[in-house]
C-alpha cells in the first residue's frame, strides 16, 4: 500500500465521519426551538425528493430508462408493496425493457 | 429485567438487518463497479477495501478515483470529499431528533454508518429509532459495501451489462418505495418532496451548486418553506375559531 494513498483515505474518512457524528454528540435532541424541530421533521421527506430528482433521470444515457424505472417503482409502491418488492419490481421491469430494446 | 432488555435489543437489531436488505441489494452493483474502477485506477486490493472500510460513502469514493486519475492532489481530494459529504450533517441532525436516548459512545459508533440510504430508511420508519435497529441497519449495508468492493476488484468485472443497467435503478426505487406510503398518508409529504425535487433539479441542471450542496440547499429550502406556510395556516385557522 502506498502511504500517500493511505493518508488520503484516512483524511477522506475523517472528513466524512465528523459531519455524520457531530450532531449525535452535540445535540441531545428535543432541545431545539419548536420551529427548528418542525423543520428537522420535514427533512426526511424533502431529502428523499432531492435524492430521487434529478438523479434518477440520468442513471443511463437513455433518459426513458430512468423515467420508466421510477414510474414502475412508484406504481408498485402505490399499490402498497413492501420496499424490497418495489426494488425488485423496478429491476424486473427495466430488465425486460433493456432486453426488448 | 436485563435479559428482557437484551432480547428486545436483539429483536431491534434483527429488524434493522431486515430493513437494510434493500440497501444491501442496491449497494452491490455500485460497490462491484467501485472495486473494478479502483483496480483500473491503479489502487491495490488493500487500498480499495480500506477506502470502503474507512470512508463508506459511494459518491465521494467514485469522485476520488476520477480525481486520482487526473493527478489531483490529496488535499483537494479530501476537501472535495468533505464538500460532497457535508449533507450528512443535516441528515444526522434530523435523525438524532427521533433516535432513542442513549450513551453518546453508542451514537458515535452507529453514526459512522449514516449514508443517504441508511438515513432514509431509518428516518421514514414509524416511531423512535433504537440503537439496536441502527446497528442492524448500518451493519448489513456496510458489509455489502465493503465485501462487494473487494469482490469487484478481485473478479475484475462487474455484473453482466444488462443486469448492471437494470440494477442501477435499485436505490432510486428504494427511495421511491420509502416515500410513496408517506405521500399517501399526508399531503404535506407530497409538497416537501416535490418542492425539494424541483429545487434540486434547478440547482443541478443550472450548475448553480455542486451536487453535495444542492441536496442540502434544496432540502432546507423545502423544509423551511413548508414549515413556515404550515405555521401561517395554523395561525389563520386559530384566529378563525376565535
pLDDT tens track of chain B, all 242 residues? 566 677 888 899 999 999 999 999 999 988 988 998 899 889 999 999 999 999 999 889 998 998 898 888 999 999 989 988 999 999 999 999 999 988 999 999 999 999 999 999 999 998 999 999 999 999 999 999 999 999 999 987 656 777 778 888 888 999 999 999 999 999 999 999 999 999 999 999 999 888 778 999 999 999 999 999 999 998 888 765 54
Query: Nearest-CA neighbor of A73 among A83, A65, A63, A64?
Result: A83
> How does B84-115 read in b/e, with b if 16+ C-beta sit within 10 Å?
bbbbbbbbbbbbbbbbbeeeeebbebbbbbbb
Query: Nearest-CA neighbor of B82 among A14, A83, A15?
Result: A15
Q: Please, are residues B33 and B159 in contact by the beta-carbon 8 Å criterion? A: no
Burial zone of B73 (CB within 10 Å; 0-12 exposed, 13-18 middle, 19+ buried): exposed
CB contact under 8 A, A5 and B170: no
Q: Which chain A residues are closer than 8 Å to B223 by Cβ?
A: 39-40, 42-43, 46
CB contact under 8 A, B96 and A42: no
Q: Which chain B residues are closer than 8 Å to A56 by Cβ?
A: 169, 172
Q: Domains in chain A: how many in total?
A: 1
Burial zone of B236 (CB within 10 Å; 0-12 exposed, 13-18 middle, 19+ buried): exposed
Q: Give the structural domain span for A76.
A: 3-100
- Indicate the residue of B46, B112, B222 with minimum beta-carbon distance to A46: B222
Alpha carbon distance A22, B88 (integer Å)? 10
Predicted pLDDT of residue B238: 76
Identify any residues that bridge with B129 across adjacent strands, giving them in sequence order. Answer: B99
Predicted pLDDT of residue B1: 52
Predicted pLDDT of residue B242: 43
**The three three-digit cell numbers of residue B100, written as one number:** 432513542
Residue A75 contacts B, CB cutoff 8 Å: no
- Compute φ and ψ for B99, nearest 5 degrees: -95, 150
Question: Is the ipTM above a cut-off of 0.90?
Answer: yes
Residue B214 contacts A, CB cutoff 8 Å: yes
Predicted pLDDT of residue B157: 62
Alpha carbon distance A66, A81 (integer Å)? 20
Amino acid at each position: 500500500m502506498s502511504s500517500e494513498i493511505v493518508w488520503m483515505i484516512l483524511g477522506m474518512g475523517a472528513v466524512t465521519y465528523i459531519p455524520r457524528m457531530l450532531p449525535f454528540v452535540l445535540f441531545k435532541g428535543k432541545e431545539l426551538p419548536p420551529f427548528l424541530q418542525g423543520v428537522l421533521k420535514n427533512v426526511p421527506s424533502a431529502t428523499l425528493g432531492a435524492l430521487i430528482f434529478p438523479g434518477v433521470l440520468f442513471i443511463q444515457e437513455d433518459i426513458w430508462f430512468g423515467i420508466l424505472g421510477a414510474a414502475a417503482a412508484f406504481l408498485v409502491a402505490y399499490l402498497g408493496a413492501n420496499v424490497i418488492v418495489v426494488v425488485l419490481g423496478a429491476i424486473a421491469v427495466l430488465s425486460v425493457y433493456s432486453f426488448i430494446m | 429485567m436485563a435479559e428482557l432488555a437484551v432480547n428486545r435489543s436483539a429483536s431491534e437489531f434483527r429488524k434493522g438487518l431486515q430493513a437494510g436488505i434493500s440497501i444491501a441489494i442496491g449497494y452491490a452493483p455500485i460497490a462491484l463497479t467501485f472495486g473494478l474502477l479502483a483496480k483500473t485506477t491503479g489502487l491495490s486490493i488493500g487500498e480499495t477495501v480500506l477506502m470502503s472500510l474507512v470512508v463508506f460513502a459511494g459518491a465521494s469514493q467514485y469522485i476520488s478515483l476520477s480525481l486520482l486519475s487526473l493527478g489531483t492532489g490529496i488535499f483537494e481530494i479530501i476537501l472535495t470529499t468533505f464538500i460532497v459529504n457535508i449533507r450528512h450533517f443535516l441528515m444526522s441532525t434530523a435523525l438524532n431528533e427521533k433516535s432513542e436516548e442513549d450513551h453518546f459512545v453508542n451514537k458515535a459508533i452507529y453514526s459512522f454508518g449514516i449514508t443517504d440510504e441508511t438515513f432514509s430508511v431509518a428516518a421514514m420508519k414509524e416511531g423512535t429509532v433504537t440503537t439496536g435497529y441502527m446497528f442492524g441497519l448500518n451493519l448489513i449495508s456496510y458489509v455489502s459495501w465493503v465485501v462487494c468492493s473487494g469482490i469487484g476488484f478481485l473478479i475484475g468485472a462487474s455484473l453482466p451489462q444488462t443486469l448492471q443497467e437494470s440494477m442501477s435503478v435499485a436505490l432510486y426505487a428504494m427511495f421511491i418505495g420509502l416515500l410513496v406510503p408517506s405521500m399517501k398518508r399526508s399531503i404535506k409529504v407530497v409538497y416537501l418532496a416535490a418542492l425539494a425535487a424541483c429545487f434540486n433539479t434547478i440547482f443541478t441542471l443550472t450548475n448553480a451548486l455542486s451536487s453535495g450542496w444542492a441536496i442540502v440547499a434544496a432540502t432546507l429550502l423545502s423544509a423551511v418553506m413548508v414549515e413556515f406556510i404550515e405555521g401561517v395556516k395554523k395561525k389563520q385557522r386559530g384566529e378563525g375559531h376565535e
